[in-house]
Amino acid sequence: MRHLPLFFNLMGRRVVVVGTGPAADRRADLARSAAAAVYRVKEASPADLTGAAAVFVATGDLDADIAAKHVANAAGVPVNIVDRPALCDFIMPAIIDRDDVVVAISTSGTSPTLATILRGRIEALLPERFGALARLAKTFRSQANGLIPDPQARRVFWRRLFEGPAASLALSGDEAGARRTALGELDAVRRRLKPVGIAHIVGAGPGDPDLLTLRAAQLLQDADAILHDALVPEAILNRARRDAEFVSVGKRKGRPSWAQADIEAELVRRVRAGQTVVRLKAGDPFVFGRGAEEVDALRAAGLPFTVVPGITAALGCAASAGIPLTDRRFASAVTFVTGQNTDGNGAAWPALAVQGHTLAIYMGATEAAAVRDRLLHAGAAPTTPVAIVENGTRPDERVTTGRLADLARLAAAHVSARGDAGPSLIIVGEVAARAALVHEPLAEVS
């Protein structure tokens, strides 16, 4: 190790920046972020360095840089010279700033680009609110030390605090909930009770595992149990912790399945038993996902939970099929509706059938005839473009295009002999014609 990593407290201390231009500006901004009193000069003099804690030099001229180094060394002030590691008393690492949590990465000045690449990879692993965990620890340190005298038991408590329900709430932005949960866990230690777990209502997106949010991917690695929809593909379940318990609670038309009340009861039971549970729902949990009902059940039971949004099917499938849901030339509005129960809410269909409006219909393949009839009766043109996207974003994606009058015939190709369909989205509106352009074969160039 050629350089010893040290963290200096520069609050209120004088830091001199020598030079002008972007590099000097960046050093000045960095020192100010540490609450230093920054003093800018074009050339360094002994008087400038009186009482200084550090000097940054960024003149861009070798002779000027060397002259500034001599002044700093004579004053006994450590100096950093931009892009000249051989002349530096200290070097600047690549920094990841998460409030009280700071990660510094150095390659001893040999390759700033490599340090930047490493910073990017580590940043992807550290949630933006990671500093909230340090604030949580600061809040409860004295109480934990007083209540848990045994060092080993105290380490177990802190490990759970940083990896368990309180941490999940803090990272989701609910610091008040995190403090309440931490208090409950301290009380459980005092009373020698097993602390409760937490439920995460997580959107799995439209099917491509690479479209999982970072937060969703992290929670899949943390879960003790994963209660997943039938439409969540194996490729996404493979991103979970290998020893997690997988429970399929999906509901499929015409097949035996879990009742919603049973799913909610299972969530409550497992969280009360201390498990970290991921309720993994296709798409987004709050878009035709009944996630609100599960949140209400957990809230009524007084149990902690978080909600992690996912890319809903309309967004993912439309993008994969090359369909802009809004396009200022054709559509200025978009509505998400479900194809199930098409006999209800008849008064709303005329508003959905107007030109300049895109309609994204979930779970509509098996109800295509009813959807077609409703829209035609409401005034939609029979020639309105439609697209059916089955298994959108997945390797077996299939897109069918046509016009509204033929919707039932087009959808028949996406319905199995048993009368059910894979995850399919129907898009109605002028923008749906874009799918045909994207998926038509390219002309050969002679």
Q: What is the DSSP string of 25-41?
A: HHHHHHHHHTT-EEEEE
Last residue of a domain, one of 195, 215, 233: 195
Claim to verify: residue 327 and residue 215 sit in the same structural domain: no
Q: Which residue numbers are catalytic? A: 229, 251
Element (H, E) at 315: helix 313-321
> What is the spatial distance between Cα 317 and Cα 429, in angstroms, rounded to a whole number?
15
The answer to whether position 388 is within a domain reads yes
Mean pLDDT confidence for 272-282: 94
Give the pLDDT of residue 443.
43
Claim to verify: residue 162 and residue 205 sit in the same structural domain: no
The answer to whether position 23 is within a domain reads yes
pTM of the model: 0.73
Claim to verify: residue 294 and residue 349 sit in the same structural domain: no
Claim to verify: residue 216 and residue 187 sit in the same structural domain: no
Tokens 């690695």: give the residue: 221
The answer to whether position 121 is within a domain reads no
Residue 221 sits in which domain range? 197-299
Claim to verify: residue 191 and residue 235 sit in the same structural domain: no
The answer to whether position 115 is within a domain reads no
> What is the spatial distance between Cα 358 and Cα 286, in angstroms, rounded to a whole number?
20
Give the pLDDT of residue 344.
53
| Type of residue at 362 | Y
Claim to verify: residue 411 and residue 342 sit in the same structural domain: yes
Claim to verify: residue 291 and residue 261 sit in the same structural domain: yes
Last residue of a domain, one of 74, 92, 110: 92
> What is the spatial distance between Cα 27 and Cα 33, in angstroms, rounded to a whole number?
10
End-to-end CA, the chain: 61
**Closest Cα to residue 390, out of 414, 363, 417?**
414
Q: How confident is the model at residue 433 (pLDDT cuts 50, 70, 90)?
A: very high
> What is the spatial distance between Cα 68 and Cα 64, in angstroms, rounded to a whole number?
6
Mean pLDDT confidence for 388-400: 93
Longest dimension (CA), the chain: 89
Backbone angles phi, psi at 91, to 5 degrees: -115, 160
Tokens 């074969």: give the residue: 441
pLDDT tens digits for 307-323?
Answer: 999 999 999 999 999 99
Looking up residue 235, the CATH number of its domain turns out to be 3.40.1010.10
- Asked if the model's pLDDT at residue 416 lies above 70, the reply is yes
> What is the spatial distance between Cα 115 and Cα 407, in angstroms, rounded to a whole number?
55
Spatial neighbors of 160 by CB under 8 A, at least 6 apart, are: 185, 195
Looking up residue 51, the CATH number of its domain turns out to be 3.40.50.720
Mean pLDDT of the chain: 89
Cα-Cα-Cα-Cα torsion 229, 230, 233, 239, nearest 10 degrees, comes to 40
> What is the spatial distance between Cα 382 and Cα 376, in angstroms, rounded to a whole number?
7
pLDDT tens digits for 159-198?
Answer: 888 888 999 999 999 999 999 999 888 888 877 777 888 9
Q: How confident is the model at residue 441 (pLDDT cuts 50, 70, 90)?
A: very low
With contact defined as beta carbons under 8 Å apart, do 254 and 420 qualify?
Answer: yes
| The total number of structural domains that make up the chain | 4
Claim to verify: residue 237 and residue 341 sit in the same structural domain: no
Neighbouring C-alpha atoms within 13 Å toward the C-beta of 97: 6
Claim to verify: residue 214 and residue 283 sit in the same structural domain: yes
pLDDT tens digits for 51-88?
Answer: 999 999 999 999 999 999 999 999 999 999 999 988 99
Claim to verify: residue 323 and residue 411 sit in the same structural domain: yes
Selection from 5-9, 139-143, 382-386 with the highest mean pLDDT: 382-386
With contact defined as beta carbons under 8 Å apart, do 91 and 80 qualify?
Answer: yes
Last residue of a domain, one of 145, 174, 195: 195
The answer to whether position 2 is within a domain reads no
pLDDT tens digits for 234-251?
Answer: 999 999 998 999 999 987
Strands 37-41 and 79-81 come out as: unpaired
Structure tokens that stand for 424 in this block: 């399919």
Claim to verify: residue 420 and residue 326 sit in the same structural domain: yes
The answer to whether position 29 is within a domain reads yes
With contact defined as beta carbons under 8 Å apart, do 270 and 264 qualify?
Answer: no
Spatial neighbors of 383 by CB under 8 A, at least 6 apart, are: 403, 404, 405
The answer to whether position 376 is within a domain reads yes
Looking up residue 383, the CATH number of its domain turns out to be 3.30.950.10
Claim to verify: residue 288 and residue 330 sit in the same structural domain: no
| Type of residue at 259 | A
Give the pLDDT of residue 347.
63
The answer to whether position 309 is within a domain reads no
Q: Where are the alpha helices (DSSP H) in 13-86?
A: 22-33, 62-75
